[in-house]
Amino acid sequence: MELKNCPQCGKVFARISRDLCPDCIAQEDEIIKQIQQYLDEHHNATITDISEGTGIPTDKIIVLLQEGRLITRENSGLLKCERCGKSIPRGRFCSECSTTLSKLFSSSREDSKQKVYVREYHKKLK
Ligand SMILES: [Zn+2]
Ligand SMILES: [Zn+2]
């Protein structure tokens, strides 16, 4: 059995499946229930609306959405791709952007080499 400190409340607990102690998991389940209830009553609510209606910080709502713990209706538009703003069901980026980003990431070294080359080239032209 693995003992851990709960990142949320600092209590030591035996880790089972999640990195939160049972108390915090229960608390989080309660939060998720509250949000879902709010969404049932307010179909077009934004994250800000939910936060104001339930008292749960927007950061927390976003994390729950990103982690896929808070499941909303398809195309609820609550969570947006951080790159293009398209609405996504979970995560931080839409599928197209994550593909683009992973490509960019793997070629970023090549890119910087190319930029240096272009700069040198322009210097020569002057
Ligand atoms: Zn805890
Ligand atoms: Zn995107």
Report d(CA 52, CA 47) in Å as an integer. 9
Q: If you average pLDDT over residues 85-110, what whole number do you get? A: 86
Report d(CA 49, CA 109) in Å as an integer. 42
Task: Tell me, in angstroms, the distance from the centre of ligand 2 to residue 53's CA.
Answer: 28
Higher-pLDDT residue of 108 and 58 is 58
Residue 77 has pLDDT above 70, yes or no: yes
**Separation in Å, CA 98 to CA 2, 64, 82, 89, 109:** 34, 19, 10, 14, 18
User: Which pLDDT score, from 0 to 100, does residue 117 have?
Assistant: 60
Nearest listed ligand to the Cα of residue 97? 2
Task: Tell me, in angstroms, the distance from the centre of ligand 2 to residue 95's CA.
Answer: 7
Residue 61 has pLDDT above 80, yes or no: yes
- In DSSP notation, the chain reads -EEEE-TTT--EEEESSSSS-HHHHHHHHHHHHHHHHHHHH-TT--HHHHHHHH---HHHHHHHHHTT-S---TT---SB-TTT--B-SSSSS-HHHHHHHHHHHHHHHHHHHHHHHHHHHHHHH-
Residues in the chain: 126
Task: Tell me, in angstroms, the distance from the centre of ligand 2 to residue 121's CA.
Answer: 34
User: Which pLDDT score, from 0 to 100, does residue 89 have?
Assistant: 85
Neighbour count for residue 79 (Cβ, 10 Å): 23
Report d(CA 6, CA 42) in Å as an integer. 33
Nearest listed ligand to the Cα of residue 93? 2
**pLDDT tens digits, 84-95:** 999 888 899 999
